[in-house]
Every structure is written in C-alpha cells, then in structure tokens.
C-alpha cells in the first residue's frame, strides 16, 4: 500500500512525514498503512491538473459523458471488493455498503446524462437595447480541490467528482485519512478507461496534506465536506484568495412526530434517522420532537426498538448497526455519555460503550432533554437520540428551527396538508415527509445557517463547477 497517490496518471509512493494507519473498527486494529503525500506532491498534483485543464475542458460533452458512464460501469464491476472494503474500514453493515455503492454508480450515470444535455457554449441573450448582440458561455470553473470525509467515502467523492468532470474541470481529490483506501478505485478506473493524465489526481494525507491543498493558490475552487471546525479553516483560506467554495458541514436535525401518526411506522422512521451508519451522518435526525398525544405510546416502543438493534461486526455477523468508524469518534461519543450523566439526563436506552473489542456504542435515547443541554445543541455524530415533547404545530416549528444548523428535517403526520405546511416552514435544505432519508441524485443536497454554503447533486451540483461568461458586441 505504499503507492497510494495518483498524480499525473501515475501511482507514486508517499513522501510525506505522516504514516496513515488504516483500521478495522470492529476489531480496533490496523490492517494497512500508507505514507502521506508531501506538500511537494500536492504541488505536483495541482500542477498536473492545471496542465490537463485546457485539453479536458475542450473535449465535447459526449466524450466526457462516456468517461462518466465508464466510471459507473467500472464501479459495478468492482462491487464485491468495494462493498467488503466499506464494511471493513467503515464498519458499515452490508446493506448500507451496497446502497452506498449504488449511490455512487447512480451519480456518475446521472451526470453523464446531464453532460450530454448541456446547452451549446454560445447561447444568444435577447437584449432590449438596439444595436447590440449578446451571448452566454458556460465554462468549467477550472482546477478544483475536493476534500471528502470518512463517513461516506466513495459516495461523497462521487457527488463532487462526477459533476466536476462533467463540467470540464480537472480535480485533485483528498480522501479522509481515516478511510483512504476506497477512493483508490477512482484512480484504478481512470487508468482502465484511459482518462487523460492529470484530469484526476488523488493525494492522501492528514491535516498537513489537507491544508496544503486548501491553501494552494493553483486552485480555482474548493469543495469540502466535513466538520464545521475544519470547514471554517477552509473558508478562511478561500477568503484570503477570494476563491469560491462549496461547504457541506454539520447538522443537528429534527424529526417532528405528530400525534396522528401510526406509532410503529413512526418508530421505524426515527430509528433509521439515528442508527444509519451508526449515527455518523451530518443528516442524522438526532433531535426528536414528539407531540404530547403520542409520546406515551411512542417512547416505550422506541426504547424497545433501539435496544433490539443488532450491533456487531458486519463481516462476521448479521447486524443492523456496526461500530463507530474511528477510535477518536468512539471517544467523542463516550464523552457525551459522560456529559449526559453530569447533566442528569433521563436515559431510556443505551448511554454507554459496549464491552467488547472494537469501537462499539449502544444505540441511545434520552428523554425530556433541556434545550440548553449540550446533547440537544451539539452535533454528536453517533447513535444518540434526544427527545422533547411539544403541544402545538407552532411550538414544533419553533423548536425545530431553534438551532445553529439547518441541514435536514423529517416530518411525520397523517395530515399531509399539515406535513407540507410544516416542511415549508422549516429552515433547512432538505425535508422528508413520512419517509426514511432517501437521497436521490436528482434532488439537491446542502443546508442553511451553519450547515454550509452551496448545493450538491441535481443540476445545482453541476452548476457549482461552471462559470458564466457573457460576450456583448456592438453592431454599429
């Protein structure tokens, strides 16, 4: 695993000072290691992308679409290896790892179609003033840096890589040091497809590598998904260069359950929103707002459902939830359990790490959590659900919106008119009504407030990598 960086069409050994240990979280043990890229190698990757840009942005849209379809096909051919790697390095149950792969495949297929539908570079603009003519060009923004997180590797990179390539950009991709292996598939596929050298570059590393990329003056845009603390650093570096950024950051999302819901169905939606990927989702609906009339019936069933989740090693057991992906995240979640005890929160389920090898914690439910509790206001990134009761629709909306985040929300109600009305009133980027968190590539992804800047997926994801130019000519 020493040749872990893909630069200018070649696999090269890392020359950085950091050794990256790749762990199996179900065992709490490393199974691979690689050397990080040096700052000089980041320079080389950006230079390769810059060199490849003129030819790549000049390719016809149908040619770029063919490469994107090739990525989709090649991902499918590597299915079992990639699913197994997701299970081993992320701790994802098999069904989650399979959905992740299908999501990545669908993303490349979708942007292949969108690339073919791109309008001509020259579109006439009608002008009210006589004596002038004008046209619009949609051009690639240029060389882009893509920094992706560890909770959904392969998927988040597909959400960025596919539209960037479709738009005609060249890229430098930095995977998370927690899950650096699975993105290697993109370099392998680029080789197999004959993607021109320098169009895709991959550099692995820790904070030093990420900083070298985000601060690099050779980039025209940066797209980052991750924590708010790192996102603010990325934004500072972008502001110093007046460079556009897309930031997909944290969340502390609400699920609102009205008293006309079917209790068992509501429990299913709630459990899915907090236990998927062991709660390691920026979109985890970790704040449960349950109406008074249904709370006494719902909470005991929710407690039982969480306690009955099968938690274990996805490679050796049939499980509903795997471990947390890293020891650092395990320690962080454990610290919130300690905070809950200090605050005297009422724990109906879980509230502790599991006594077994690996980085496992119990699915957890706290009730009647005060609005000023750290567990109610801060993103935990684990299977920790906090519940409060509400009396009216107005109260539910106010408490759901009372957050510095605004990524997603879920509304559960048999009254669809009310559900739609509440969805419209929530200050978030995406709302589900009576559903698990089904994410479709045709829709947008991104949030308001502290949850980030810009949108991914859908046509908005493509436009994020395009620049608009107008040409106006005097006819006199």
Active-site annotation, residues? 248, 282
CA 7, 13, 18 angle in degrees (round to 5)?
Answer: 110
DSSP H or E run through 21? strand 19-24
Per-residue b/e over 192-230, b at no fewer than 16 CB within 10 Å? Answer: ebebebbbbbbbbbbebbbbbbbbbebbbbbbbbbebeb
Q: Compute CA 97 distance to the chain's CA centroid, rounded to the nearest angstrom.
A: 14
Cβ-in-10-Å burial (0-12, 13-18, 19+) of 295 comes to buried
The residue assigned the tokens 């050796």 is 316
List alpha helices for 117-262, DSSP H.
155-167, 184-193, 207-214, 228-241
The residue assigned the tokens 């006439």 is 124
State how far the alpha carbon of 216 is from the alpha carbons of 176, 433, 447, in Å.
18, 42, 26
* Beta-ladder partners of 364: 384
User: Strand 466-474's sheet: what is its strand order?
Assistant: 123-125, 132-140, 466-474
Within 10 angstroms of residue 309's Cβ, the number of other Cβ atoms is 17
State how far the alpha carbon of 243 is from the alpha carbons of 74, 312, 353, 381, in Å.
33, 44, 43, 29
Residue 158, SS3 per DSSP: helix
The whole-angstrom separation of Cα 332 and Cα 340 is 13
Tokens of 106: 């669908």
Sign of CA dihedral 344, 349, 354, 359: negative
């Amino acid at each position: 695993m020493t040749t872990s960086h893909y630069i200018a069409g070649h696999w090269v050994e890392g020359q950085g000072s950091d050794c990256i240990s790749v762990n199996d979280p179900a065992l709490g043990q490393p199974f691979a290691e690689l050397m990080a890229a040096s700052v000089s190698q980041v320079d080389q990757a950006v230079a390769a992308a810059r060199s490849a840009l003129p030819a790549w942005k000049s390719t016809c849209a149908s040619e770029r679409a063919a490469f994107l379809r090739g990525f989709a096909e090649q991902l499918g051919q590597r299915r079992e290896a990639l699913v197994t790697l997701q299970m081993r390095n992320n701790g994802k149950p098999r069904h989650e790892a399979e959905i992740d792969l299908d999501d990545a495949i669908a993303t490349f297929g979708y942007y292949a179609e969108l690339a073919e539908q791109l309008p001509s570079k020259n579109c006439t603009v009608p002008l009210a003033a006589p004596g002038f003519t004008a046209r619009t060009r949609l051009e690639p923004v240029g060389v882009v840096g893509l920094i992706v997180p560890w909770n959904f590797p392969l998927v988040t990179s597909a959400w960025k890589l596919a539209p960037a390539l479709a738009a005609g950009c060249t890229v430098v991709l930095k995977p998370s040091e927690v899950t650096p292996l699975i993105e290697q598939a993109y370099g392998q596929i680029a080789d197999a497809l004959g993607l021109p050298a320098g169009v895709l570059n991959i550099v692995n590393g820790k904070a030093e590598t990420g900083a070298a990329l985000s601060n690099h003056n050779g980039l025209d845009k940066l797209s980052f998904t991750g924590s708010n603390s790192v996102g603010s650093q990325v934004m500072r570096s972008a502001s110093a260069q007046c460079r556009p950024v897309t930031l997909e950051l944290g969340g502390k999302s609400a699920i609102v359950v009205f008293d006309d819901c079917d209790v068992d169905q509501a429990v299913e939606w709630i459990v899915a929103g907090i236990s998927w990927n062991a709660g390691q989702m920026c979109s985890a609906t970790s704040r449960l707002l349950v109406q008074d009339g249904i709370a006494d019936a719902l909470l005991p069933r929710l407690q039982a459902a969480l306690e009955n989740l099968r938690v274990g090693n996805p490679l050796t057991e049939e499980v509903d939830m795997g471990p947390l992906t890293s020891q650092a995240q395990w320690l962080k979640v454990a610290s919130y359990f300690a905070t809950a005890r200090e605050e005297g929160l009422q724990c109906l389920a879980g509230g502790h790490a599991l006594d077994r090898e690996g980085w496992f914690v119990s699915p957890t439910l706290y009730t009647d959590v005060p609005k000023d509790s750290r567990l109610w206001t801060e993103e935990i990134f684990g299977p920790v659900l906090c519940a409060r009761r509400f009396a009216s629709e107005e109260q539910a909306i106010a408490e759901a919106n009372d957050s510095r985040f605004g990524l997603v929300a879920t509304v559960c109600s048999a009254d669809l008119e009310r559900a739609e009305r509440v969805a419209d009133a929530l200050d978030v980027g995406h709302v589900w009504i009576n559903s698990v968190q089904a994410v479709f590539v045709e829709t947008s992804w991104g949030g308001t407030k502290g949850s980030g800047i810009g949108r991914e997926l859908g046509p908005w994801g493509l436009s994020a990598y395009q620049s608009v130019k107008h040409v106006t000519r005097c006819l006199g």
